[in-house]
Structure 1
């Protein structure tokens, strides 16, 4: 049975059950035996109008905020199949774009989908990048799946030279979204793969424990999206 540690003040939950290791993955033989369909793949390829509206709204907000920043090198930690990097590439944001993900299957699928991207298998707890080596470090919808989110955040901050982009679900809205699309009904919309649970306010507290400054806080439904400057 999972242990739940919850602070009512922060509205933060850590389930500590390692489900992020397998969250949302299933095989799709029609693509390739080594390819995997993750929730990330499903989200980006879905024709469901609510999902499409959420995905497009998220990227529209993020790209608008990043367009004002001077960025050359970008690392997407937890890049999945590379959808976010592909959006950045098409928007001419950044010159050197790299993605790392723990899932070899997701990286292999990403190389099939976006052969122009530099995608690698890597560990977010031990990123193989130097201190202050990337102008921008991105980590979107990853931290909620990790058993040790504080350790991961420390690595993201270490590698960043200037900026970070972090996003997590605003869980009350995310659960509502799931109910709207008919998903996880018996769990009242709660996602099994989320081992950390944040409201926007709690996520601000979590991030501000590092030497950073939140310069923009956005709320494209159902997410919290932070544009952060490293101090």
Structure 2
């Protein structure tokens, strides 16, 4: 494990395993942010048929379970390196398969998934290009990778500064790669993904890419 991985483990161990489950009930800002994010994903998925879906960086499975409720006929998988959150997810959402794993070293065969969700995770990984290539490996031809991240615009930077210094102190130093969305687009191209669609949500603070092999 390298130095940055150790840094992230320290951060993860500060995060309650039910952080998203409780935060979206008690904090109106978290509630609004995640509601918009999940609804955006649902709109994309309505236009695609899929039998297997992976959430790479699923934490405790909050978002993946919301997607499962909307589209219950597929097989759902979630991976994350935060083992305590994965243990919580396994107990809380028994109909979904959860594994402790790095996104750059996935325990799945080639061309396995129709859909991969990669939401607000790429900024936390050690090697974004390597990780995207690994996600591409397990994605079926014709499948989609939905990648979302903060846009890095002035409004997000301001909001994140306030959040990190108030309610979100546990996330200080968690962003290994605080991309501007134009930089992220270059990373996507280097990983040889095709950008099928991109759009902004959350008052321009979040950008979503729909990618294909």
Taking structure 1 as the reference length, the TM-score comes to 0.78
Partner of 1:210: 191
Contact 2:20 2:62 in 1 (8 A): no
User: 1:143 Cα deviation (Å)?
Assistant: 1.4
Task: Determine helix, strand or coil for the equivalent of 1:164.
Answer: strand
The 3 A distance-change label for structure 1 pair 64 and 196 is same
Partner of 1:174: 156
Name the structure where helix makes up a greater proportion of residues: 2
Runs of 4+ in structure 1 off by over 3 angstroms are: none
The 3 A distance-change label for structure 1 pair 175 and 203 is same
Task: Determine helix, strand or coil for the equivalent of 1:197.
Answer: coil
Partner of 1:42: 19
Contact 1:23 1:193 in 2 (8 A): yes
The 3 A distance-change label for structure 1 pair 115 and 93 is closer
Contact 1:131 1:158 in 2 (8 A): yes
Partner of 2:9: 21
**Residue 164 of structure 1 pairs with residue 149 of structure 2:** no
Contact 2:129 2:190 in 1 (8 A): no
Partner of 2:59: 80
Task: Determine helix, strand or coil for the equivalent of 1:131.
Answer: coil
Partner of 2:210: 227
Q: For 2:10 and 2:134, how far apart are their aligned partners in 1?
A: 22
User: 1:80 Cα deviation (Å)?
Assistant: 1.1
Deviations along 1:161-187, one digit per CA (max 9) or x if unpaired, are 11101122223443322345x5326xx
In structure 2, list runs of 5 or more residues that go unmatched: none
Q: For 1:56 and 1:148, how far apart are their aligned partners in 2?
A: 29
Contact 1:44 1:55 in 2 (8 A): no
Q: For 1:22 and 1:142, how far apart are their aligned partners in 2?
A: 17
* Aligned partner of 1:62 among 41, 48, 51: 41
Q: For 1:175 and 1:44, how far apart are their aligned partners in 2?
A: 25
**Residue 134 of structure 1 pairs with residue 116 of structure 2:** no
Q: For 1:203 and 1:192, how far apart are their aligned partners in 2?
A: 19
Taking structure 2 as the reference length, the TM-score comes to 0.84
The 3 A distance-change label for structure 1 pair 95 and 151 is same
Deviations along 1:187-229, one digit per CA (max 9) or x if unpaired, are xxx9411010111221111111223221221222232221112
Contact 1:170 1:224 in 2 (8 A): yes
User: 1:62 Cα deviation (Å)?
Assistant: 1.3
**Bigger RCO (CA 8 Å, 6+ sep):** 1
Q: For 1:202 and 1:110, how far apart are their aligned partners in 2?
A: 33
